[in-house]
Amino acid sequence: MYPKKPTAKKPSTTSSSAVTAKWSKGKNDVSGYQIKCSKNKSMKGAKTVTAGKSVTSKKISGLKANTKYYVQVRAYKTVDGKKYYSDWSAKKSAKTKAKAKKSSGGTVYITNTGEKYHRGTCRYLRYSKYSISKSEAQREGYTACKVCRP
Ligand SMILES: [Zn+2]
């Protein structure tokens, strides 16, 4: 009646807010899988999602960036409307990606001596020209050139 527990594999992470749980099916005759995902190794406060019987991976989203998550999988079989669960698999962990730093406003240009930042085509860039992100230029105290209005 009870299905065998699936073997969890290392989850994959391709974003800052999701982990993809993976497992191997084996010779299991199951109705589906239940996946638990938690920041705590004790699985406290875990999110639980279900997956169909023909899949061996499931994306769990809505997670925090740059955080290690533990994932466990169990199989279930529905017989006469009652669900029979396998034991939980071993825990596997993966870390979500860090959030990409936003450098807003694109690239502007500064000079050796000036206190302004410019568009790449500005005439004030004739003698020196260094690229910098607009947000970084503003952070460093540069202000926008009144001629080229970057
Ligand atoms: Zn300029």
Q: How many domains does the chain have?
A: 2
Domain-located, residue 150: no
Cβ contact 56:32 at 8 Å: no
- Ligand 1 centre to CA of 123 (Å) is 7
Are 34 and 58 contained in the same domain? yes
pLDDT > 70 in the chain, percent: 95
Are 18 and 82 contained in the same domain? yes
Cβ contact 6:23 at 8 Å: yes
- Ligand 1 centre to CA of 141 (Å) is 15
Cβ contact 16:99 at 8 Å: yes
Are 112 and 87 contained in the same domain? no
Q: For 66, how many CA atoms within 13 A lie in the half-sphere containing its CB?
A: 4
State the CATH number of the domain containing residue 46.
Answer: 2.60.40.10
N- to C-terminal Cα distance for the chain?
70
Cβ contact 33:51 at 8 Å: yes
Domain-located, residue 46: yes
Domain-located, residue 102: no
Are 88 and 112 contained in the same domain? no
Q: pLDDT tens-digit profile of 93-109?
A: 999 998 766 556 789 99
